Every structure is written in C-alpha cells, then in structure tokens.
Structure 1
Amino acid sequence: MQLNFPDELISHQYSGQPEPTVDWLFNGFKINSFDSKFKHTAQFATMHNNQSVTIFQIKDIHEDHFGDYTCKVANNLGNIEKTVHLSGKPGPPALLVRDNQLSWTVQSVEPISEYKLHYRLAQEDTWKNHKIFKSDRSNQDEEMWTHSIPLNFLDPNTDYELQLSARNTLGWGSLARNYVSYKSSSDLKPESNKMTGAGDANVASVSSSADWLRTAIPLFLLVVVLL
C-alpha cells in the first residue's frame, strides 16, 4: 500500500545528574540502526532551555513503522521511560454539540472515507446503536477533517451520550477521548428511522467552518518532558 506520510520527528526533553544515557525502543526492543526497517531513521541530540533533547527521525514512513516508540533515559540513580504510539489511522475526534448539531474534527494524513457515530441513552453501559456518515473532501484542511450533522434522528426531549470514530484506508481510528452528553430539544423534528438498532445510514454531510475545530493537537510532532 502506498502511503503519503510526512517524515516523523519524535523528540523527548530530559535532564539529570549524572548525565543520563538515552536508548530508543520499538515495541519493547532496542532499535538497531542496521535493521532494514530502520535504515531511513536517525537519532540525534540538541539543547533547548538548558536541557537535553533527544530526537528520533523516521523518513519514508510505511506501515512497518507503526507501533510504540519508547525513549528510555537512565543513569546510576534510576531510569524513566516515555512511550508514544505512531499510527496511520485517524486520531481521536474532538466533539462539540451546539444547537442540535454535532460537529467534530479529526486528524488523518490518509483520506477519511466515513465516520461512525455511536449513540445511547444516558446512563446506559453499552453502545447499542450507530450510524455511518460519509466524509466530504470539501471539509478537509490539509491533515484536518471536519464534519457536522443534524441530530434530528434522535427522539425529542431525551438525554443521550454520543461517541465517534473515523475510518481511512488503514482502518478505524480511535474513539473520541470523551463522549459528549446531549439533551434533545422538545421541538426536535425526528427522522422516520429513529433508534432502530445498530444499523448503518448514509447521511449527506453538512460542512462546518467553526474555528474551534482548528485546535486539535498535531499527531505527528510529539514532545514529552522527562524530568
């Protein structure tokens, strides 16, 4: 599969006395620069605000590079590890409910094909119902994808909880870090296909230009402070 990912820089800032040593691990194993998988990678260091910064760079990213990258910093007083996960699947959506509309933003380098909205009555334990919404390329701004839908398929005057994930060529991404609560208005005009179980529906997209959707944290530049 041909992927079009930018070069990846994973950087960790640290300090310690005595001066620590730094190792990078991939899925729990120390990275070997002679491994063919990592022949287009580089490790280097710099200083920032009087602290050391170790940087791991990956060029020509492909699926074999997806996984957990761990920076291990150690001296004779102890050690500390921080791990980040690199994935080509969509990141967790940022959700917002306003005026009977649900809006979201998702980061994905690969094109998003569809979204899955899970919904349930408040206080229920499982997500029993969902709808599928096709993406709209007109709502793409580089790696950021936005979308907005009316919630008129829900029953009026009812408390709900909403959760969402996005899908690209690599599969379904993460759910939103937090679901959102929503109380439908009493004058909501419902669709004819109200809660009928876990069925799919193709619903026309509604574009959104809300500024709040531009605030998602970039997936491909991760900085962790190690102290």
Structure 2
Amino acid sequence: MDADLAGRGLTRLDQASVCAAGRSLAPIAFSETGGDLMVVAEGDASRIERNARAFVNGSSGWGMMALAPISAGQLHHCTVLDTVSRALALGRDSLAYGNTPAGFEEFAEASGGRILGGGRVVEVRRRPGPSQQGRPGFARGTVAVAEPDTGRTLRLEMENEYLLAVRDGEVTATTPDVLAVLDRRDGVPVACDQVRPGRDVVVLQLPAAPFWGHPHRRPTVAPRAYGFDCEARTLP
C-alpha cells in the first residue's frame, strides 16, 4: 500500500495516524530478538505506548510490532496516503539537484518547501524533557547552527525528530512540517542522534502531509504535543 501511519517521523505510538483518526491501537503484538512476545488485546493508546517502550527497553533494545489489519476501504480515513511515492520522489529530487547552494534551493522548491538557514553546528545539548518525554528513549535536546551570512544563530529543538526552529527568539517553523537537516557536503540527512558540533549543514522545512492539516488530527503532532508552548508555524 502507498500509505503508512505517520507521514513523517513520530516520537510515540500514540501519535500514529490511527490514533489521530480515533481508532484504537489494540489489538497489537510485539516481539523481540530473544523470542519474547507481548500481545495487548485492549487499552488506551498512551498506556500501550508506555508498555511497548518498557518491553523494548527491557529486552534487546529493538523489536517488531504488528497492528490489527485495516481494510482497504478505511485506509483514507486513518492512514497517511502516498507516503511511499512521496519518499521516492524526494530521493529522486535529491539526487537530481545535487548538493550545491543552487541545488539545495531547487530541491526545496521542487519539494514545496524552503531553506530555513544553514551553517556550522556550534553546539549540541542533549537533555531529558518534561513529563512523559523525560524518560529513557526520548532523545531530546537543542542544536545551534551559526549562520555566517547573517551572523545569527538558528536553534533547533528536537525529540527523536527535529520539531522547532527558532531564530532570535522567534519560532520560524514547527512540526507537523518536516524539519530536515542535511550535510552540506553530500546532501545526506543528519539524524538527531548523529548531529555533532562542527558539521556544516543546511536546514530545510518541508510541508506536512495533508492528513495532518485536519483540525482534529493536527493537535496530535503540534508543538504542544511535545511540551512546547507555542502555536504551529507551518508552510502555507
């Protein structure tokens, strides 16, 4: 199926599109490399998320998950459509435009996004976050990028994914749009757990999947869902 349950990187199971659409995650099954199996027959999404994380943290650190089947007729209600084709298109555009300054601009334009800024990563601070995000498994922190053209600093807030971009105290871009950090030398994405001081990067804002624009679904992945007290700043 050309669809998935996210359309972007998500931090928690209870943020999956099926939850945003009002469906239950249960029944759901988890297994890990040692052969242990956990099946959850019922329960709210936040409890399933906590149990799943405890299961994985207490075993090998990773595992597999299987959700209840979704009928083809229900896909457009509870999944993010066209995600596979969109990912392939992003890959083709990235290869086509290359990693020159003009290439990054063309790639952002072709993807319906924009370049937020870029420069040298001067600081990476990792820390536990508030409430439920302050537990093991949530890579929260801040990345500071010094912009040589303006002399300003672009700050990125992250929690397993890049969530907010702030410049001079003003929030300029947020989830549910996708904030992507690319290595300026080769255009390869730099994940939150890979970003380090000294890397020369370009920061892009790409539009969220239309699924997350619905007013009833948007709060699931809006800044306040991660503990940030601000409104979403997304592309038109």
TM over 0.5: no
| Larger-Rg structure | 1
Structure whose residues are more often helix by fraction: 2
Structure whose residues are more often strand by fraction: 1
The structure, 1 or 2, with the larger RCO (C-alpha pairs under 8 Å, 6+ apart) is 1
TM-score (norm 1): 0.29
